[in-house]
Amino acid sequence: MKLLFLLFFLIIFSLSANILKKQKQIFICFSVVIIIFFYLFLSINFFYKENFYPSKKINYYNMCYNYYNLLVDSLKENKPYISDNINITKSFFAKGEELSLLDTSVYKNKVYLYFGITPVILFYLPFNLITHLYLTDKLLVFILSCFIFLLSLFLIKRTYESIIKTNNIPMNIIILCIFIVGFCNLLPFLLIRSAIYEVTVTTAVFLLLTSFYLFYYYINTKNSTKQKVLNFCLSLTLCLSVGARPHYVLFIPIFFVAVVLTKYIQTKQIKNIVYSAVIFLIPCLIYGTIIALYNYIRFDSIFEFGWHYQINEHLQDTFKPSFNDFIVGLKNNFFLLPNMNETTVFSLTRTSGHRIGNEYISGVFWTCPIILILLYIPIFLKKIYKENIYNFIFILTILLTTIINIVVLNFYGMIIRYIFEYLPLMLILSIIIFLVYINNITEKLTKNFLNLLFILIFVYSVFINISLLFCKENFLAHDSLKNTCYTSIIKILF
């Protein structure tokens, strides 16, 4: 159980920060570096690790890897489809060894990339035009994961610092919060198996967190010109996120109301409110038109993203979400118990009952028990509303976005990458609430008790997430573990 010794070392490291308070920035930076190196280790050591670095040729022969580069070549030839040879998809149905473009969309005998175009516009195409190399899914997911991790920390730090009046938070708790965010946000699960699915969700979450970053500055600046720029950029990043995950369009009305409400509170002038609304809507109209035209060119419908023509075993063209699917997804994604085994102690559990997505997962209440503090959020919001209306609007926006994500994604299955889309937001909210709460405690005995409790939560949370990450069930979707250090990691850690 060397993993427990490593966690013990991290605890000693965090407690040392309480003594060496003047070097707190060094402790924080070192903690961040540990997480980033862990992400890099996962990216370059598992599953098609030879596809991590950019290459001169497209390595798309592995199922669902590097499809975006096919679209890069097609767009350079002014074609919206990635192939006009429908036969290349047939091997999927025959379970053969030939090239198989699983999860693409076939319409009028042409093969289209089902997934949104935003990653191509932002990352793959510019990278190819500048370097003449092809960006890989694994490298992009690693880069986006680092930014998601850093943005999460920034949002936590800025938010709780704007709420508390004096900082009385023990330094070791700050350090452990960094590790919990880094190890327990499910990003390691995406990094270890990075493919086109992981690209689209990390792109969307990165853009969403960037939107919160911009919105934070929007509500905390009084400069009118800066607010207009931030407003425009905020709307643009939201629109781009829709090009990665279509259901993110539901977040746009939330941010629109939040932006307009903030401007109303600040000025109460109709002219300024209308200007803010118009500025926010301009990127929506521009990028919305681009996406609509892109859909129409491909599928003869501005509302069709390729869902009804997607090639996979789920027959998604006939799938209609039901309330029963939502309840099954909600129950399992939050409450499903992990299994126990003799190697990694904890292992993922195979789900069932949902009509479209049943994979190996574990309920988030078991993997991240800190989020149970969200039960306290109604009281927390009431308190924040009385103290600072802008912080209230900001936290409420995060909460509403999280709720919508939970509702939508539980309709579509029990898959780790779906849980990832709302778990980072839940972690951000949970840690903000905890830090504000422990900061306001003046009784030393109570604060020490909560500190000890948080250390125990840290040990459990990181241990179970590492266990689940390396359990056999997390690798069943892949044919083999050749050329990886999977076995040696099991021996070392467990």
pLDDT digits (tens, 9 = 90+) for 193-212: 888 889 999 999 999 999 99
Dist CA 360 CA 352 (whole Å): 10
Residue 171, classified by CB atoms within 10 Å of its CB into exposed (0-12), middle (13-18) or buried (19+), is buried
**Angle at 308 (CA atoms; ends 474, 333), nearest 5 degrees:** 35
> What pLDDT does residue 477 have?
55
371 three-state secondary structure: helix
* Residue 458 located in a structural domain: yes
CB 242 within 8 Å of CB 248: yes
Dist CA 490 CA 479 (whole Å): 19
* Residue 253 located in a structural domain: no
> What pLDDT does residue 94 have?
36
Instruction: List the one residue out of 99, 194, 204 whose CA is nearest residue 137.
Output: 194
Number of folded domains that form the chain? 1
* Residue 86 located in a structural domain: no
* Residue 89 located in a structural domain: no
Dist CA 484 CA 44 (whole Å): 9
* Residue 235 located in a structural domain: no
**Residue-by-residue pLDDT tens, the chain, 494 positions:** 799 999 999 999 999 999 998 898 999 999 999 999 999 999 998 877 778 899 888 875 566 778 899 899 999 999 988 888 766 555 444 344 444 667 788 888 888 888 889 999 999 999 999 999 999 999 999 999 999 999 999 999 999 999 998 889 999 999 999 999 999 999 999 999 888 889 999 999 999 999 999 999 999 998 889 999 999 999 999 999 999 999 999 999 999 999 999 999 988 889 889 999 999 999 999 998 998 999 899 998 888 888 788 776 655 566 677 889 899 999 999 999 999 998 899 999 999 988 887 899 999 999 999 999 999 999 999 999 999 999 999 999 999 999 999 999 999 889 999 999 999 999 999 999 999 999 999 899 999 999 999 999 999 999 999 999 999 888 875 555 666 788 889 988 99
* Residue 108 located in a structural domain: no
Query: How does the average pLDDT of the chain come out, rounded?
Result: 90
Residue 373, classified by CB atoms within 10 Å of its CB into exposed (0-12), middle (13-18) or buried (19+), is middle
User: How do 110-112 and 105-107 pair as beta strands?
Assistant: antiparallel
Dist CA 481 CA 116 (whole Å): 30
157 three-state secondary structure: helix
> Which residues fall within 8 angstroms of residue 273, CB to CB, at 6 or more apart?
260, 263, 264, 267
CA distances from 319 to 142, 311, 354, 356, 478 (A): 33, 13, 11, 8, 26
* Residue 180 located in a structural domain: yes
Q: Could you tell me the two tokens for 58?
A: 């497209």
Q: Which domain holds residue 18?
A: 2-51+143-228+319-493
> What pLDDT does residue 488 have?
87
* Residue 240 located in a structural domain: no
